[in-house]
Amino acid sequence: MNLANLNIGKKIYLVTGILILIFTASSFWLYGQYRDQLYEGSREQLVAAVDTAWGIIDHYSRSVGEDLSRSEAQMLAKSAIRALRFGNGSYFWINDTTPKIVMHPIKPQLEGKDMSAVKDPNGVYLFKEMVNVTAKDGAGFVEYQWAKPGHDKPVDKLSYVRRHPDWGWIVGAGVYLDDIQSRIAAAFWSVIGVLGFSLLVSAALVWFLARHVSHPLHQTVEMIEEMEKGHLDRRLNMDRKDEMGRMARAMDAFADSLQNEVVASLQRLATGDLTFSIEPRDSQDVVRGALQKLEQDLNRVMLDIQSSGEQIAAGASQVSDSSQSLSQGATESAASLEEISASMNEMSSQTRQNAENADQANRLSDEAQAAAEKGNQQMQEMVSAMGEIADAGQNISKIIKVIDEIAFQTNLLALNAAVEAARAGQHGKGFAVVAEEVRNLAARSARAARETAELIEGSVDLTERGSHIAGQTAEALGKIVDGVTKVSNLVSEIAAASNEQAQGIAQVNQGLAQIDQVTQQNTANAEEGAAASEELSSQAAQLHNMLSRFKLKQHAMTAAPSTIPAAAPPRPPQPAAGNGNWGGGSAAPRGEEMIALNDDEFGRY
């Protein structure tokens, strides 16, 4: 809901309703505070009263052993508390932790009776609850139902109990909640009555104020709406002395002024009568001042229009001739531009194809360069591997020499063993056989080592020869890589130059297209100008006929021409001076965006 769209009556009702809601909420808040204070005051009263009775018990408990015995002190304490009252006659009672009633001033028959099984109608074992509450904190509140003195039906009761630690007595007192609730109910109905009376009075006053304000405003709004529709016959005619009456009289006077002065003058203006006169009330009268200025300006403008009609008719013929000449030159320029544009498009296509071929050759050259570099790298790796194989062959030759020396030493040991076996005679035969086998094995090892050494030496020779050939091949591949790199660079330069040529030709085509567009536009404008000038000539005559219906003031009528003179004879078309453009056409309009073409820029291509 938008408050700005509500009428004044609804706004008054809304504000009043908000104030009533605030007043109602405040009243109920105060009622809640009063209710809470009643309950809190009752609790504080109970605590103070029970603390007083507990102080009496504590006083007599401290007197035990001095002047009194324990039983005497307890008897005096019970007598003092039995007669003690607070509030509206509320009493105190005493029970122990068993729980048994020690003292009860209202029902003495309960004294000495076990109350552990006593419970209220809600099932609350009230005396057990008192014992439990005082066992935790020494004191506390207990809510239950108990019969009031002189009544049989139990009512809600709030009690406060406190335990004395020496004697184990629990002294307590309570208040009946129905008394508090009756006071709260009385306060509630008082609040409701005041609120109801206030609401009725407020509603009556607000209704009277809303009617007194909104009804005149409603009539004024209806009159303004009728005036907006152009209906000026309605009047308010309010006989009041307040602001509403002043507004009504001002609206009626405004409607009279509009109807008798402004609208009457406009009606005369609609019929072509410009002889009316308007006198503003003062310098701030913008409506009558505007009408006066309109009357003066229209008389002056109509006079100027009549004097300008003959100039329009005379110039229309000249514009038509010039437009025909311009149209013919522009048509020839457009045909030439179309031929040049077709040739440039063909050149652009060929240049673009050359650029694409150069790009493809550049890519192939880059691939060849990459392949040559990769082959050169692999050849370098092969040369390195051949060198490692040669080094490994040298190491194997050394190992073979070691094996040959081992075989030689083994042969010597076998000979020594055979000599020793011969010396041993019969006992050394078996040893001699072993020595002979070892000698044969050493001979075979030496022979195999020599053969292996010969093979390795041949392999090393072949490896060195392969390394030499691989080095020559790597050197040749390096030269190939250098040649391919140079070719790739040249192809890249050719591709770049071809792309720049294609871009330059594209810019030339764009410039030619813009020139052709401008030429076509000039041709169309020239044809339209010729047609417009012919139409203008006929409209000038029609304009004079239309202006003749206006009735001007006397000073304007004397200055207005009676007829339009004959148009000047048409001027023969003159050829346009050449300015370096194709077809000798006129320059392009200022609004067109042109590309500056400089022949010096094409030297780099």
Over residues 493-500, mean pLDDT: 76
Exposure of 161 in the CB half-sphere (CA atoms within 13 A): 28
The residues, any chain, with a CB within 8 Å of residue 224's CB and separated by 6 or more, are 251
- In CATH terms, is domain 331-552 a member of 3.40.50.800? no
Q: How many Å apart are CA 262 and CA 227, to the nearest integer? A: 13
Question: Could you tell me what percent of the chain has a pLDDT over 90?
Answer: 13
- 1: confidence class by pLDDT, cuts 50, 70, 90: low
> Can you spell out the DSSP letters for 352-386?
HHHHHHHHHHHHHHHHHHHHHHHHHHHHHHHHHHH
- 549: confidence class by pLDDT, cuts 50, 70, 90: low
pLDDT at 573: 44
pLDDT at 599: 47
Query: Could you report the per-residue pLDDT of 240-295, keeping only the tens digit for each?
Result: 777 777 887 888 888 887 777 777 778 777 777 777 777 787 878 777 788 778 87
Question: Collapsing DSSP states into helix, strand and coil, what is residue 590?
Answer: coil
Q: How many Å apart are CA 511 and CA 508, to the nearest integer? A: 5
Q: How many Å apart are CA 262 and CA 285, to the nearest integer? A: 12
Over residues 329-357, mean pLDDT: 75
Segment holding 94, helix H or strand E: strand 92-95
Question: Could you tell me what percent of the chain has a pLDDT over 70?
Answer: 84
pLDDT at 160: 94
Query: CA angle, corner 437, sides to 434 and 442, nearest 5?
Result: 125
What are φ and ψ of residue 288, in 5° steps? Answer: -70, -35
Over residues 148-167, mean pLDDT: 85
Provide CATH 1.10.287.950 ranges for the chain: 331-552
Give the mean pLDDT of the chain. Answer: 76
- 8: confidence class by pLDDT, cuts 50, 70, 90: low
**Res. 54: pLDDT tops 90:** yes
- 594: confidence class by pLDDT, cuts 50, 70, 90: very low
**Res. 128: pLDDT tops 50:** yes
Segment holding 572, helix H or strand E: none
Over residues 540-556, mean pLDDT: 68
In contact, 164 and 41? CB cutoff 8 Å: no
Which of these, 252, 304, 253, 293, lies nearest to 269 by C-alpha position? Answer: 293
Q: How many Å apart are CA 171 and CA 96, to the nearest integer? A: 9
What are φ and ψ of residue 338, in 5° steps? Answer: -65, -40
Beta-carbon count within 10 A of 468 CB: 12
DSSP 8-state code for residue 425: G
Higher pLDDT, 82 or 273: 82
Over residues 585-593, mean pLDDT: 42
**Res. 585: pLDDT tops 50:** no
In contact, 341 and 513? CB cutoff 8 Å: yes
Query: Could you report the per-residue pLDDT of 352-378, keeping only the tens digit for each?
Result: 777 777 778 777 777 777 877 787 777
Multiple choice CATH, 3-206, 3.40.50.1580, 3.40.50.2020, 2.40.340.10, 3.30.450.20: 3.30.450.20
What are φ and ψ of residue 174, in 5° steps? Answer: -145, 165
Over residues 561-588, mean pLDDT: 43
pTM of the model as a whole:
0.34
In contact, 568 and 311? CB cutoff 8 Å: no
Over residues 408-422, mean pLDDT: 80
The residues, any chain, with a CB within 8 Å of residue 293's CB and separated by 6 or more, are none
Query: Could you report the per-residue pLDDT of 70-81, keeping only the tens digit for each?
Result: 999 999 999 999
Which of these, 140, 138, 141, 142, lies nearest to 164 by C-alpha position? Answer: 138
> Can you spell out the DSSP letters for 69-84?
-HHHHHHHHHHHHHT-
The residues, any chain, with a CB within 8 Å of residue 366's CB and separated by 6 or more, are 488
Over residues 167-180, mean pLDDT: 86
pLDDT at 57: 93
Query: CA angle, corner 326, sides to 325 and 329, nearest 5?
Result: 90
Q: With the C-alpha atoms ordered 546, 548, 553, 555, is the resulting torsion angle positive or negative?
A: positive
Higher pLDDT, 589 or 111: 111
**Res. 51: pLDDT tops 50:** yes
Q: How many Å apart are CA 447 and CA 531, to the nearest integer? A: 122
Q: How many Å apart are CA 129 and CA 593, to the nearest integer? A: 102
- 320: confidence class by pLDDT, cuts 50, 70, 90: low
Provide CATH 3.30.450.20 ranges for the chain: 3-206
**Res. 574: pLDDT tops 80:** no
- Cis status of the peptide bond prior to 216, with omega within 30 of 0: no
Rg of the chain over Cα atoms, rounded to whole angstroms, equals 65
**Res. 581: pLDDT tops 50:** no
- 2: confidence class by pLDDT, cuts 50, 70, 90: low
Q: How many Å apart are CA 100 and CA 116, to the nearest integer? A: 8
The residues, any chain, with a CB within 8 Å of residue 71's CB and separated by 6 or more, are none
In contact, 552 and 297? CB cutoff 8 Å: no
Q: How many Å apart are CA 92 and CA 77, to the nearest integer? A: 12
pLDDT at 456: 79
Which of the listed ranges 92-101, 485-494, 558-567 does the model predict with the highest average pLDDT? 92-101
Structure tokens at 303: 């006079």
pLDDT at 555: 52
Q: How many Å apart are CA 110 and CA 91, to the nearest integer? A: 15
**Res. 504: pLDDT tops 70:** yes
* Residues recorded for the chain: 605
Question: Collapsing DSSP states into helix, strand and coil, what is residue 90?
Answer: strand
Tokens 């002979």 sit at which residue? 436
